[in-house]
C-alpha cells in the first residue's frame, strides 16, 4: 500500500468483499505496513542533457529541470517543472500565505520582520529576480535569493527545504531591482563559491527624511549594495551616478555590471529619455573592499553601513577607479553574462541594439591600458525592437527578448563581433520566433552558468490576450517553452503563470537536493513526544505544547482565561513524507501547517470567551475531519 491509497475506500471502512468491515487507526492512515520510512519517491536521476528535448512529461514521469521564477507583486517565488510547465511549489516570501502559515506563525513573522507592537512590518513585496548560489561557476543548490523592489529587501531561500529563511532590508535604497550572487572570490582563489550578493538601487533617493534635500532631486543618489551570502548582513555600499537596474557578475568574481537607464537623474520619464546614451556601470569588487579596509568610507543618513564613492568625479583615474561607466544606447534594460565568461550583453530597450562589452577589455581599462570606456565595447548589433533580456545556449548564441516586436531573436556573438570590426557579410541574426505576446524575461536551461546546455528557453510574456480562456479584465501570463537545441527555434508549449513572474532560472534537477522530512532538533521548542505536551502559565502568558500524530493532537482540549496571551507550540511527530498537519482555530485568525517532524508556533490574545474548535486544515488521514479539539476560553 502506498500513501496514494490513503483514504481509499477500503481504508474508510466501506465493506469490500473479503475485507474486514472496520479497520484500526493505523490502517486508516493508509500507510501502515507500507514499509515507508522517512522517504518515498525522491530518487532523481541526473538530467540527460544529450537526450532530445520534449514537450510533454507523461503521467508519472518527472521533469528534467526546476524553474525558479519570481512572482512579481504577489511577493512570492514559484517553482515550475520544465518541460511540463507544471507548478510544483509556491514559496511565500514577502507575502502572507495561510496555506503554510507564512506571516502567521511566530517563526515566519520573525523572518519577515516586526514592528515594535509585534505586528508585521510589511505584508507585501514585489519580487523580480531569482538567482541561485554558485560553486565553480554553476548552481550548487544551497541558496536562492530574490529581491523585493517595493520595500528594498533581499530574501534568501534555503535549497534543502525551499523555504525562505532570512530577509534583509537594505538601507537608503528604494526600488531595489537587480541582484546577482558572485561566483567566486575576486582575491582568494580557494573561495570558488558564492559569498556575496550584489543589489542595484533603481530609484534615486535623498539620504535624509527632512529638510530641503528631500525635495531636491539633485541631492538624490543610488547605492550599489553588497550583502554577505551567509550572514545576510549588509557589508558595504557604493554611491553611483545615475541609477541601476539589472545585474550580472563575472565568472572570476572580479566584477559586477549593472545597466543604467536613468543617467539623467530624471524624475519623470521624459527626462529619463533625454540622453542618447546611458550606461552599463562595472564595479571592481576587490578595489571597493580594499578602499573600505583603508578607511575611505563614509556613512549616509541613519545607516552605519560603510559607503564608498563610486561617482565619475571621484573615479577619473582608471588605475585606482572603483567603477567604470561604459556608455550604451538608450535606456538599456538587462545585462547578462555569457557562459564562457567573456562578455556582458546589455539590451538596448529604446535602441534596437544589444551592446557587447568584453570582460577582458574591462580588465584592461581598470589597468589603465584603454583610454575610453567605449573601447571595452566589441559589438553592437541591431537585433530588433525593444530588446530586454538575453539568454545563452553555451554554443555562442544569444537569445534576446524583443518586447515591441513580440519575438525572441537568436543571434551569434562571434558574428556580431566580426560585424563590429567591419565584416559587412557577417550573418548576425540567425532566427526569430514570434511569442505571445510582449516578452519580458527570457532565459535558457542552465543558461547563467558555465553548464549552459542549450536545450530549453522560456519566454516570460507580459500579455497573453487570446491564448487562454478569458477570466475578466486581467489575463493570466503566458510562459512559452521553446526548443533551442536545433538551428531553428521551435515553440513547444504554452503554460499559464499567475501574474506576474519576471525573471527565472532553469536549474537541472540534480542540482536541487531537498529534504522531505524536517529535523526535530531544528526547533528549540520541539515537543518530542505526546507525553511532553503540557500547558505552562506565567502570569497571563500561557503556552500550550501539542503534538500531532495522524489522526489526533496530543491534547483534544485545553482551557485558558479571557485576556490571556496564548502561544500554541505544535510539533508534527509523523515521520512519513508529505504527511503534513494543519492547525486552525475558529475566530482567531490562526491557520498554519506543520510538516513531518516540524515545529511551529503562533501567539494570539484570547479575547473572546467561549468554546472554539481547533482542527486540522490539511488533509492527512481518513479521519482528518475528526482531527480536532476544543479551546475553552473562560470569561
Ligand atoms: S525586470 S521584465 Cu525586474 Cu526585466 Cu521585469
Ligand atoms: Cu491532520 Cu488533517
Ligand atoms: Ca536614459
Q: Rounded mean pLDDT of 504-520?
A: 97
Residue labelled with grid coordinates 527565472: 504
Q: Rounded mean pLDDT of 113-135?
A: 97
Alpha carbons 233 and 19: distance in angstroms, whole number: 61
Residue labelled with grid coordinates 534594460: 333
Closest C-alpha to ligand 2, atom 1:
581
Closest C-alpha to ligand 1, atom 2:
440
Residue 378 has pLDDT above 70, yes or no: yes
- Residue 460 CA: which ligand 1 atom is closest? 2
Q: Rounded mean pLDDT of 521-535?
A: 97
Residue 19 has pLDDT above 60, yes or no: no
**Residues less than 5 Å from ion ligand 3, measured at CB:** 272, 278, 331
Looking at residue 27, its pLDDT comes to 58
Strands 590-594 and 599-605: unpaired
Is the Cβ atom of 388 under 6 angstroms away from ligand 1?
yes
Q: Rounded mean pLDDT of 559-564?
A: 98
Rounded to 5 degrees, what angle do the CA atoms 386, 390, 392 make?
150
- Residue 503 CA: which ligand 1 atom is closest? 5
Residue 6 has pLDDT above 60, yes or no: no
482 neighbors 489 (Cβ within 8 angstroms): yes
- Residue 334 CA: which ligand 1 atom is closest? 4
Distance of CA 261 from the midpoint of ligand 3 (Å): 4
At residue 45 the predicted structure's pLDDT band, cuts being 50, 70 and 90, is confident
Distance of CA 47 from the midpoint of ligand 1 (Å): 29
Residue 30 has pLDDT above 50, yes or no: yes
Q: Which range, of 47-61, 85-99, 134-148, 552-566, averages the lowest pLDDT? A: 47-61
Percent of the chain with pLDDT over 90: 92
Q: Is the peptide bond before 72 cis (omega within 30 degrees of 0)?
A: no
SS3 419: helix
pLDDT tens by residue, 58-72:
999 999 999 999 999
Looking at residue 23, its pLDDT comes to 57
Mean pLDDT, the chain, integer:
94
Q: Is the peptide bond before 437 cis (omega within 30 degrees of 0)?
A: yes
Alpha-carbon Rg for the chain, nearest whole angstrom, is 27
Is the Cβ atom of 149 under 6 angstroms away from ligand 1?
no
Percent of the chain with pLDDT over 70: 93
Alpha carbons 77 and 100: distance in angstroms, whole number: 14
Distance of CA 578 from the midpoint of ligand 2 (Å): 11
Looking at residue 18, its pLDDT comes to 47
Residue 121 has pLDDT above 60, yes or no: yes
- Residue 619 CA: which ligand 2 atom is closest? 2
Ligand nearest to the CA of 351: 3
Distance of CA 351 from the midpoint of ligand 1 (Å): 17
Distance of CA 185 from the midpoint of ligand 3 (Å): 32
Residue 77 has pLDDT above 60, yes or no: yes
Q: Which range, of 8-12, 49-53, 407-411, averages the lowest pLDDT? A: 8-12
Is the Cβ atom of 440 under 6 angstroms away from ligand 1?
yes
Distance of CA 579 from the midpoint of ligand 2 (Å): 8
Residues 6+ apart with CB under 8 A from 117: none
Is the Cβ atom of 125 under 6 angstroms away from ligand 1?
no
Residue 42 has pLDDT above 60, yes or no: no
Residue 241 has pLDDT above 50, yes or no: yes
Distance of CA 374 from the midpoint of ligand 3 (Å): 17
Distance of CA 333 from the midpoint of ligand 1 (Å): 8
Looking at residue 8, its pLDDT comes to 37
At residue 34 the predicted structure's pLDDT band, cuts being 50, 70 and 90, is very low
pLDDT tens by residue, 164-192:
999 999 999 999 999 999 999 999 999 99
565 neighbors 541 (Cβ within 8 angstroms): yes
- Residue 462 CA: which ligand 1 atom is closest? 2
Ligand nearest to the CA of 327: 3
Residue 16 has pLDDT above 70, yes or no: no
Buried b / exposed e along 204-216 (16+ C-beta atoms within 10 A): bbbbeeeeeeeee
Looking at residue 46, its pLDDT comes to 87
150 neighbors 125 (Cβ within 8 angstroms): yes
At residue 44 the predicted structure's pLDDT band, cuts being 50, 70 and 90, is confident
- Residue 621 CA: which ligand 2 atom is closest? 2
C-alpha cell at 386: 525593444
Distance of CA 36 from the midpoint of ligand 1 (Å): 44
Chain-centre distance of CA 145, in angstroms? 5
Residue 339 has pLDDT above 60, yes or no: yes
Looking at residue 398, its pLDDT comes to 98
Is the Cβ atom of 441 under 6 angstroms away from ligand 1?
yes
Q: Which range, of 20-24, 101-105, 250-254, 599-603, averages the lowest pLDDT? A: 20-24
Amino acid at each position: 500500500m502506498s500513501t496514494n491509497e490513503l483514504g481509499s475506500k477500503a481504508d474508510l471502512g466501506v465493506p469490500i468483499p473479503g475485507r474486514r468491515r472496520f479497520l484500526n487507526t493505523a490502517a486508516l492512515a493508509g500507510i501502515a505496513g507500507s514499509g515507508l520510512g522517512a522517504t518515498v519517491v525522491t530518487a532523481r536521476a541526473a538530467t540527460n542533457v544529450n537526450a532530445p528535448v520534449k514537450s510533454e512529461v507523461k503521467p508519472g514521469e518527472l521533469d528534467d529541470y526546476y524553474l525558479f521564477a519570481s512572482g512579481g507583486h504577489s511577493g512570492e517565488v514559484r517553482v515550475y517543472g520544465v518541460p511540463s510547465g507544471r507548478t510544483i511549489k509556491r514559496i511565500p516570501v514577502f507575502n502572507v500565505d495561510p496555506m503554510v502559515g507564512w506571516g502567521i506563525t511566530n517563526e515566519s513573522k520573525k523572518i519577515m520582520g516586526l514592528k515594535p507592537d509585534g505586528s508585521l512590518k510589511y505584508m507585501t513585496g514585489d519580487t523580480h529576480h531569482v538567482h541561485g548560489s554558485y560553486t565553480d561557476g554553476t548552481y550548487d543548490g544551497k541558496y536562492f535569493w530574490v529581491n523585493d523592489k517595493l520595500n528594498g529587501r533581499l530574501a534568501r531561500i534555503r535549497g534543502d527545504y525551499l523555504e525562505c529563511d532570512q530577509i534583509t532590508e537594505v538601507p537608503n535604497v528604494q526600488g531595489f531591482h537587480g541582484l546577482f550572487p558572485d561566483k567566486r572570490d575576486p582575491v582568494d582563489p580557494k573561495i570558488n563559491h558564492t559569498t556575496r550578493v550584489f543589489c542595484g538601487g533603481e530609484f534615486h533617493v535623498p539620504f535624509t527624511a527632512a529638510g530641503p534635500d528631500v525635495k531636491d532631486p539633485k541631492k538624490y543618489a543610488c547605492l550599489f549594495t553588497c550583502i554577505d551570502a551567509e550572514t545576510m548582513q549588509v557589508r558595504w555600499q557604493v554611491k553611483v551616478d545615475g541609477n541601476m537596474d539589472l545585474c550580472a557578475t563575472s565568472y572570476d568574481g572580479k566584477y559586477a555590471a549593472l545597466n543604467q537607464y536613468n543617467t539623467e537623474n530624471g524624475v519623470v520619464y521624459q527626462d529619463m529619455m533625454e540622453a542618447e546614451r546611458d550606461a552599463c556601470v562595472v564595479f571592481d569588487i576587490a578595489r571597493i573592499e580594499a578602499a573600505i579596509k583603508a578607511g575611505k568610507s563614509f556613512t549616509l543618513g541613519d545607516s552605519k553601513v560603510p559607503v564608498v564613492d563610486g561617482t565619475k568625479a571621484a573615479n577619473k583615474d582608471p588605475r585606482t577607479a572603483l567603477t567604470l561607466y561604459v556608455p550604451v544606447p538608450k535606456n538599456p534594460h538587462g545585462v547578462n553574462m555569457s557562459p564562457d565568461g567573456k562578455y556582458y550583453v546589455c539590451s538596448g530597450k529604446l535602441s534596437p541594439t544589444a551592446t557587447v562589452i568584453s570582460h577582458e577589455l574591462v580588465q584592461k581599462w581598470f589597468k589603465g591600458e584603454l583610454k575610453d570606456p567605449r573601447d571595452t565595447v566589441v559589438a553592437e548589433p541591431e537585433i530588433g525592437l525593444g530588446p530586454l533580456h538575453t539568454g545563452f545556449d553555451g554554443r555562442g548564441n544569444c537569445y534576446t527578448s524583443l518586447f515591441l516586436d513580440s519575438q525572441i531573436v537568436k543571434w551569434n556573438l562571434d558574428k556580431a563581433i566580426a560585424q563590429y570590426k567591419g565584416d559587412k557579410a557577417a550573418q548576425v541574426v540567425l532566427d526569430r520566433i514570434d511569442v505571445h505576446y510582449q516578452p519580458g524575461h527570457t532565459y535558457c536551461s542552465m543558461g547563467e552558468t558555465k553548464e549552459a546546455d542549450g536545450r530549453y528557453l522560456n519566454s516570460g510574456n507580459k500579455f497573453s490576450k487570446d491564448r487562454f480562456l478569458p477570466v475578466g479584465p486581467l489575463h493570466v501570463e503566458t510562459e512559452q517553452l521553446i526548443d533551442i537545441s536545433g538551428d531553428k527555434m521551435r515553440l513547444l508549449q504554452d503554460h499559464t503563470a499567475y501574474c506576474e513572474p519576471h525573471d527565472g532560472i532553469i536549474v537541472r534537477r540534480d542540482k536541487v537536493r531537498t529534504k522531505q522530512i524536517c529535523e526535530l532538533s531544528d526547533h528549540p521548542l520541539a515537543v518530542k513526544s505526546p507525553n511532553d505536551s503540557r500547558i505552562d502559565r506565567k502570569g497571563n502568558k500561557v503556552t500550550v505544547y501539542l503534538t500531532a500524530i495522524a489522526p489526533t493532537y496530543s491534547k483534544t482540549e485545553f482551557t485558558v482565561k479571557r485576556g490571556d496571551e496564548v502561544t500554541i507550540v505544535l510539533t508534527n511527530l509523523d515521520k512519513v513524507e508529505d504527511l503534513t498537519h494543519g492547525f486552525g482555530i475558529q475566530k482567531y485568525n490562526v491557520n498554519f501547517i506543520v510538516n513531518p517532524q516540524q515545529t511551529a508556533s503562533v501567539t494570539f490574545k484570547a479575547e473572546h470567551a467561549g468554546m472554539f474548535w481547533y482542527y486540522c486544515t490539511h488533509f492527512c488521514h481518513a479521519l482528518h475531519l475528526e482531527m480536532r479539539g476544543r479551546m475553552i476560553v473562560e470569561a
